[in-house]
Amino acid sequence: MPLELVTIPCLADNYAYLIHNADTGQTAVIDVPDAAPISAALKERGWMLSDVLLTHHHWDHVDGLADLLADYPANVIGAEADAHRLPTLNATVADGDRLAICGEEMQVLDVSGHTLGHVAFYFAASNMVFTADSLMALGCGRLFEGTPDQMFDSLSKLAALPPQTLVCSGHEYTQSNAKFAITIDPENAALISRVQQVEQARAAGEATVPSLLSLELSTNPFLRCTDPAVQATVGMIGADPAAVFAEIRTRKDNF
């Protein structure tokens, strides 16, 4: 059976995620922006915490950890490359590592770009990938530390996962991302429809994440750098897709 997934709004626009194996009773959390909503979700379900997976070092993904561990001692896992600026880790991981989390194999993917040492966590059996601030709904993270080429390679790695994979990203940025995306891919019928759905969801106070990778592949401009229509919009027909990505990222930064 796939792991149970709980999406937890935190802070102003962050998300943390719980995954739970009903057979083993194991529960993991991916990122800890704030302890209180995560603790509330655990208490509501009567779950104990076995593991904490940290995607990267930014404060809005780790600041609630100490308070959470005070009530729920757990094994904390993060990237070896980021260990010097993450909270204290019980285990470090690197690209390609595989380990059992909640009774299921989890694969670590280096998705540097937003930061160096940013990782994603892929659960193939449950069709879920936790991408935080790398691949996001209708967008990708700003390049605070990495290069456009690094982020392009990271997104390409994620885009190669099965299309039925659920992309669990770290922020409720979809509405603002949609306003930019439509400027890059204005004739994309799937994107036009998605923009409308996002507007309706947010007006109703509903979350727009997670999202299916198949939907991102058809609507997210950062994954569509080989598409002729996208290339035409940015005046780069036939250009290297990595260069097209860099142009789109620059335009988003200045949007």
In the annotated binding site for Zn(2+), the residues are 56, 58, 60-61, 114, 133, 171
Q: Pairing state of beta strands 104-110 and 98-101?
A: antiparallel
Give the annotated binding-site residues. Answer: 56, 58, 60-61, 114, 133, 171
Helix (H, G, I), strand (E, B) or coil at 120: strand
68, 52 Cβ separation under 8 angstroms: yes
- For residues 100 and 121, give the distance between their C-alpha atoms in angstroms, rounded to a whole number: 11
**Residue bearing tokens 């959470």:** 68
* Tokens found for residue 246: 């860099």
DSSP for 6-46, please give it: EEEEETTTEEEEEEE-TTT--EEEE--S-HHHHHHHHHHHT
Q: Count the alpha carbons within 13 Å of 134 in the hemisphere toward its beta carbon.
A: 31
Residue 55: partners with Cβ closer than 8 Å, 6 or more residues away: 30, 31, 61, 78, 118, 119, 120, 121, 130, 131, 132, 133, 170
Give the residue among 216, 208, 252 at the shortest CA–CA distance from 15. 208
| CA torsion angle 66 67 72 78 (round to 10) | -30
